[in-house]
Amino acid sequence: MYAQVAIEQVPGQLFTYAVPAGMEVRVGQSVTVPWRRIYHRGYVIALSEECPYVPKAEPDAQGDLFGETPAPKVKAIERIEDPLPYFSEGTITLLRWMAEYYDVGFTLALRSALPAPVREGRSQARERYVVAPILPPPPHLPPLSKRQKELYENIVRVDGGLLARLCEEFSTTAPTIRRLAKMGYLTCELREAPRSPLAGRRVLPSKPLPLTPSQAEALDVILREERPVLLFGVTGSGKTEVYMQAIAKTLEEGRDAIVLVPEISLTPQTVSRFAARFGQQVALLHSALSDGERHDEWHRIRRGQARVVVGPRSAVFAPVRRLGLIIVDEEHDTGYKQDESPRYSARDVAVMRAHIEKARCLLGSATPSLESWRNATELGKYALARLPERVGGAELPAVTLIDLREAGKPGEPLPIFSEPLIDALKGCLERGEQAILFLNRRGYAPTYQCAACGEPIKCEHCDAKLTYHAKDDTLRCHLCGRWQRPPAKCPTCGAPLFKTLGVGTQRVEQALAKILPRARVIRMDADSTGRRHSHDELLSAFRAKEADILLGTQMIAKGLDFPNVTLVGILSADRSLNIAYDFRAAERTFQLIAQVSGRAGRGVLPGQVFVQTLQPDHPAIRTACDCAYERFADDELALRRAQGLPPYTRLAALTLTGPDQAALERAAENAARALARTPGLEVLPPMPAPLERKDDLWRWQLLLKSQSSLRIARACHTLLPPDDRISGPIKALLDIDAVFLA
């Protein structure tokens, strides 16, 4: 028996090893193998009776091959690390598809499916002292004092637990509890104690809610369809309840479920709702967990101790034993696209995994991506289920469109808040209701420029203007992360005066303090959520009505459900329209406005939305304010069809980076000529990338169009195999089904 093994430290190829007699090796197991006199950890990818490795015959002096092919000399597997496989055969098939579709090495695809603590063997399971009451207590035990009796009864009430947690909860000490154990009332043993991200969180159990006729019909479609199902429901239409009842049916069938959410900020709220319904069967996977929590949650899933997995895009690879349902909530969200190699789309990987493992796939959104909408309405690849109204009789919020050009005074800068929005905020606070304000730009001001010559201060390492952050008086590059203090003089003209242009969330927060001094404001952006658990803490505080206004960027635009929010203000609705190189700008703008607007009026109180814009007549803004997704989709698809853009073609971006701009331009032109010889592949002329320089490297870009993503991947593979792309001064980055063209 022979095994093909992927070794993480040796990317790019699989290695053949013999299976020693008596060793029971299974596909997906973690094994230790020798490679170049060093033992490495690897994963069994395939097994075969015959050796797939055939060594070459030796040439004679003239270079001709002679003699018989020598017998293969194959090293043997040293040992099995864990009898339980890390990968199912279905997951390995999925990773093979990923490697081909996104044109990356198989080992790189495999790395994306394993959290770093698991892959690197860090954060092994720890042992903790666990206390359990002995019930009923044996007779003839020594009598307890009043304080000891009270402590024992408390431990019985909570059914024991970790020694350290009991000491904290009941204000006692470890020796005191151990004394009760020595007296025979308790057991106190050292056991493996998984680190759970849900530990200490009190979740009240919930029961399934009665379904509306639309929800019941949608659930029926999900359960009977073999195709992926697109659940198209307006905001507040009860998609999550449909998800949970579909999961309950899946668990009854003895199968497991994965729920993907686009933002880590949504994860705590989503997990709480699912944990209330499914209890300890729920596991959480995302990068904000500690190494120990990620390690233990992943292995809990692998052992079958958790059957419902919730997390962002990497959770699509969760090692559930028998996948029956995979849900992609807010399937349109660009957060599902990985921004580093392998640049996979978790939504597309979810669809493929469900296909491979014969599981149901459910994609949910109030503003579906045009790719999914076309698959459901034009091509019939997906089934379509609709939820056209909000649950509980709630109405969609009333939307007021405000032209900022008319809101300000002549000769003065545009106001941050229009008068109608200020009046609405004051009324909201007077009634004890809450508001959400959305601006998709963090910092204080996006431009810091010389007041004399008008030159902005730019990053020395990137093709980007520095953003001013007032809180710590710094200029920051949002591309490479570098920062500096504001200069004393202009580097161009030497003038000592500067001014800020534009508005970010910090400036809005400052303006709110002046306009509404008594308002309690929570700001959620990348600057305020860097701490662990900060998303959960901020949203929990807002839910508990410890703040009146939630101000934030895209992370508050979707999925959040606060019944007391009756007002939403979108401060600059057209910001995402002004990206010239992004053909999806209108689609993104529509989705953002519709999603943010949907946060208002989700309870018994009616909601209202104020949309501030400089382009009130733009079709994307008009249709979003009218909640007319289908009208927008029809118009936008017609435009895309006429221009030969996705979803009517496949688009990939090949980005070349290097320190020498002239050499990079030559390499891009050579690559374009070579790729243009591929039949069925359209190569647009190479040009500098929209972000021409990033982190001291110049960037050139080729856009590739075809009816087949595989044709693009194979053409690039032939021209430049994945292993060669990261060598030399010029590096190539291939992004299949590109979402961002920066």
* Mean pLDDT along residues 681-702: 93
Q: Are 167 and 298 in a shared domain?
A: no
Q: Are 464 and 431 in a shared domain?
A: no
Q: Is the pLDDT of residue 118 over 70?
A: yes
Q: How far apart, in whole angstroms, are the C-alpha atoms of residue 569 and residue 401?
A: 10
Q: How far apart, in whole angstroms, are the C-alpha atoms of residue 416 and residue 636?
A: 30
Phi then psi for residue 253, to 5 deg, are -80, 0
Q: Are 517 and 403 in a shared domain?
A: yes
Any domain includes 281: yes
Q: Are 18 and 66 in a shared domain?
A: yes
- 122 vs 141, which has greater pLDDT? 141
Q: Is the pLDDT of residue 54 over 80?
A: no
Mean confidence (pLDDT) of the chain: 90
Pick from 463, 482, 499: which residue ends a domain? Answer: 499
Phi then psi for residue 669, to 5 deg, are -65, -40
Q: Are 72 and 168 in a shared domain?
A: no
C-beta atoms surrounding 10 within 10 Å:
15
The 10s digit of each residue's pLDDT in 470-529 is 988 999 999 888 999 999 999 999 999 999 999 999 999 999 999 999 999 999 998 888
* Mean pLDDT along residues 55-67: 49
Say which CATH number the domain at 381 has. 3.40.50.300
pLDDT for the residue 55: 59
Q: Is 549 helix (H, G, I), strand (E, B) or coil?
A: strand
Residue 294's nearest CA partner among 122, 537, 88, 164 is 122
What secondary structure does DSSP assign to 8-68, as a single string? TTSTT-EEEEE--TT----TT-EEEEEETTEEEEEEEEEEESS-S--PPPPB-TTS-B-SP
Q: Are 304 and 410 in a shared domain?
A: no
Range of the domain at 687: 650-736
* Mean pLDDT along residues 220-232: 97
Tokens in use for 216?
């019941």
Cα dihedral 203, 204, 205, 210 sign = negative
Q: Is the pLDDT of residue 53 over 90?
A: no
pLDDT for the residue 123: 52
* Mean pLDDT along residues 385-395: 91
pLDDT bin (cut points 50, 70, 90) of residue 244 is very high
Q: Is the pLDDT of residue 67 over 50?
A: no
Pick from 26, 54, 86: which residue ends a domain? Answer: 86
* Mean pLDDT along residues 294-310: 92
Any domain includes 199: no
The pTM assigned to this predicted structure is 0.87
Residue 704's nearest CA partner among 674, 736, 730 is 736
Any domain includes 471: yes
Beta strand 687-694 pairing with 682-683: unpaired
Q: Is the pLDDT of residue 202 over 90?
A: no
Q: How far apart, in whole angstroms, are the C-alpha atoms of residue 176 and residue 585?
A: 64
Any domain includes 277: yes
Say which CATH number the domain at 672 has. 3.30.70.600
The 10s digit of each residue's pLDDT in 581-605 is 789 999 999 999 999 999 998 888 9
As for how many domains the chain has, the answer is 6
Q: Are 592 and 494 in a shared domain?
A: no
Q: Count helices and strands (H / E) in the chain.
A: 21, 31
Q: Is the pLDDT of residue 63 over 50?
A: no
Pick from 393, 425, 460: which residue ends a domain? Answer: 393
Q: Are 152 and 182 in a shared domain?
A: yes
DSSP assignment letter at 476? E
Q: Are 518 and 598 in a shared domain?
A: yes
Q: Are 187 and 134 in contact (CB under 8 A)?
A: yes
Q: Are 112 and 118 in contact (CB under 8 A)?
A: no
Query: E strand or H helix at 438, and its extent?
Result: strand 434-438
Q: Is the pLDDT of residue 721 over 50?
A: yes
Q: Is the pLDDT of residue 327 over 60?
A: yes
pLDDT bin (cut points 50, 70, 90) of residue 201 is low
Q: How many CA atoms lie within 13 A of 336 on its CB side?
A: 22
Residue 243's nearest CA partner among 332, 346, 358, 330 is 330
pLDDT bin (cut points 50, 70, 90) of residue 666 is very high
pLDDT for the residue 65: 42
* Mean pLDDT along residues 177-195: 86
Q: Are 455 and 514 in a shared domain?
A: no
Computed on alpha carbons and rounded to an integer, the radius of gyration of the chain in Å comes to 29
Q: How far apart, in whole angstroms, are the C-alpha atoms of residue 561 and residue 538?
A: 14
Q: Are 480 and 535 in a shared domain?
A: no
Any domain includes 119: no
Q: Are 301 and 331 in a shared domain?
A: yes
pLDDT bin (cut points 50, 70, 90) of residue 291 is confident
Any domain includes 98: no
Q: How far apart, in whole angstroms, are the C-alpha atoms of residue 555 and residue 386?
A: 26
Q: Is the pLDDT of residue 536 over 90?
A: no
pLDDT bin (cut points 50, 70, 90) of residue 565 is very high
Any domain includes 175: yes
